[in-house]
Structures are given as structure tokens and as C-alpha cells.
Amino acid sequence: MSPIKELTANKLKVRIYETRLQMGADAAKDACKKIKELLLKQGFVNIIFAAAPSQNEFLASLAQEEGVDWSRVNAFHMDEYVGLERNAPQRFARFLKEKIFSKVSFNEVHYINGSADDTGMECRRYSNLLKQYPADIVCIGIGENTHIAFNDPHTADFNDPLVVKEVTLDTVSREQQVHDGCFATIEDVPTSAITLTVPALFSAESIYCIVPGNKKADAVYHTLNSEVKAHYPSTVLRKHSNATLYLDQDSAKNL
């Protein structure tokens, strides 16, 4: 499962694979290696997960990796829609529960409540949890508009004083949810979400960024080639000291 090509963009390591399956499997292997290393020197590891179809191969491989003491791992997720019904299939909490949180025996799983009566209070609650359990690892994707988590170009702030906040979603982000098959029409997609901020994600020791597919090719190009600024939120990954971007041939086609 060796990459067919490797390169760097500033500090960001980039690995390109022939298939999505190979990409996901290798990213999972690298992430598990890091978890094991961290558990040798600390009692628990805190991981933040992204919820999106782009993560399917990675999460499936992660759940099958052997030798990880998941009972010493705490899990978080990085965003959630505001206002969906609690049992809505599109909720990110439900996606992650199906794909990974129910597959291995974590010490604790902390969910964002997008149905909270007071969204501001929920943001503060989750912020406090993340301060109590500082992230060691972030497993992330990149949106079609280069968003990371739900930090769209119009709301991303590389120096955000907040850890978690409510944001309005731009049209491209909402259209992506239709492209991904999560919603039938853009009218069905919520207009706001709770998201971890860029500094909250960037604070982790290691970032594993998994980005397959044709529809992400432009975003990947900007991530690696455009000026590092909030207009292209994912460009900030190039400044992280230990981040790796995993691509397949489709998402890397413009490089």
C-alpha cells in the first residue's frame, strides 16, 4: 500500500495512492502507529474525527487495525448540524457511531448536541471538554470549498479566540452535502452548524487529512498551491509541524 507519489508543500506531507482503499488503509495504519506511540508515554489519547463519506475507507480500516488499546482513547467529533431531528440519519454523531464509535471500545465518546435548546451553551460545554481533554490527533477531510470542519471561507479565522462556535454554512458547503448523497436537495440541508474552530483543530500534535474523489481536486490544488489565508481554510495545514494529506488519483489529478 505504498503511495505512488510523495511530495511536500511547506511543512505538509502529501501522499498519493492509486485507489481510495489504499489511501484509507495507509492513513489508518499511520494513525494507529501514532496512537500506540502516544500510549507508551501517556495514560490516554484524545482524537477528533470528521464525519463524511470521504472518511469511509479510513474509518473502516481504522476499526480493523490490531494492537490498539482503544479503552485508553477518548473520541470527539468536529462538527454537527444545528436543528436536525435527533434520529435524523444525516447527523454526524450518528454517522460516526455507525462507522467507528460502535466498532471499537473507546474509553469515552463525547458527542456534540446539535439539538440543544441553547446552542451557545452547547458550544461552551464542548469547548470545556476539549480544554479538559486536549486533542492529540485530528482525523479530518477537506471540503469542496477548502473548508476544514465547518470553517467555511466566510467564517474561518486562523486566530479564532473560540474553541467551538456556531456558524452559518455557505452554499458550496450545503451543495456538497447533496453531492455526497446525504440530502436529496439543498433545501433539505441545514443552514447552520456547530464547529470546532481552526485553532482547536490545529492544536493537535498530529493531523491526518484524508481527501479522495474528483470533486475535491480543485480544493486539493488550492490547499497546496494558493496563499495561506482564511479564504482557503485548508491552506493552514501547510503550517502544521506534523500533518499528512492522503489523496487518491482522482483528488490529485490537478497537481
Q: How many other CB atoms are there within 10 angstroms of residue 137's CB atom?
A: 21
**Whole-number pLDDT of residue 181:** 87
Identify the burial level of 3 via C-beta atoms within 10 angstroms of its C-beta, where 0-12 means exposed, 13-18 middle and 19 or more buried. Answer: middle
Residue 41 lies in a domain: yes
3-state SS class at 223:
helix
**Whole-number pLDDT of residue 63:** 97
**Whole-number pLDDT of residue 220:** 98
Residue 28 lies in a domain: yes
For residue 172, the one-letter residue type is V
Q: How far apart are CA 237 and CA 201, in angstroms?
A: 10
User: Domain residues for 59?
Assistant: 5-248
3-state SS class at 62:
helix
- 67 Cα distance to chain centroid: 23
Spatial neighbors of 214 by CB under 8 A, at least 6 apart, are: 250, 251, 253
**Whole-number pLDDT of residue 87:** 83
pTM of the model: 0.96
Q: How far apart are CA 168 and CA 191, in angstroms?
A: 6
Q: In what order do the strands lie in the sheet with 137-140?
A: 5-9, 12-17, 243-248, 206-211, 137-140, 45-49, 73-77, 108-110
The DSSP H or E segment spanning 23 is: helix 20-39
**Whole-number pLDDT of residue 142:** 98
Instruction: Provide DSSP, 40-102.
Output: TTSS-EEEEE--SGGGHHHHHHHHH-SS--GGGEEEEESEEESS--TT-TT-HHHHHIIIIIT
3-state SS class at 148:
strand
**Whole-number pLDDT of residue 100:** 97
Residue 253 lies in a domain: no
Q: How far apart are CA 64 and CA 104, in angstroms?
A: 9
Q: Confirm if 46 and 74 have CB atoms less than 8 A apart.
A: yes
Q: How far apart are CA 175 and CA 144, in angstroms?
A: 9
CA distances from 199 to 96, 190, 207 (A): 22, 24, 13
Q: How far apart are CA 104 and CA 150, in angstroms?
A: 26
**Strands 79-81, 192-196: parallel, antiparallel or unpaired by DSSP?**
antiparallel
Residue 255 lies in a domain: no
Look at the chain and report how many structural domains it folds into. Answer: 1
CATH number at residue 207: 3.40.50.1360
Residue 254 lies in a domain: no
Q: Which of 201, 224, 252, 253 is nearest to 78 (CA)?
A: 201
Cell readout for 182 is: 446525504
Task: Note down pLDDT in tens along the chain; length 255 residues.
Answer: 789 999 999 999 999 999 999 999 999 999 999 999 999 999 999 999 999 999 999 999 999 999 999 999 999 999 999 989 888 889 999 999 999 999 999 999 999 999 999 999 999 999 999 999 999 999 999 999 999 999 999 999 999 999 999 999 999 889 988 888 889 999 999 899 999 999 999 999 999 999 999 999 999 999 999 999 999 999 999 999 999 999 999 999 999
Residue 62 lies in a domain: yes
Q: Confirm if 211 and 183 have CB atoms less than 8 A apart.
A: no
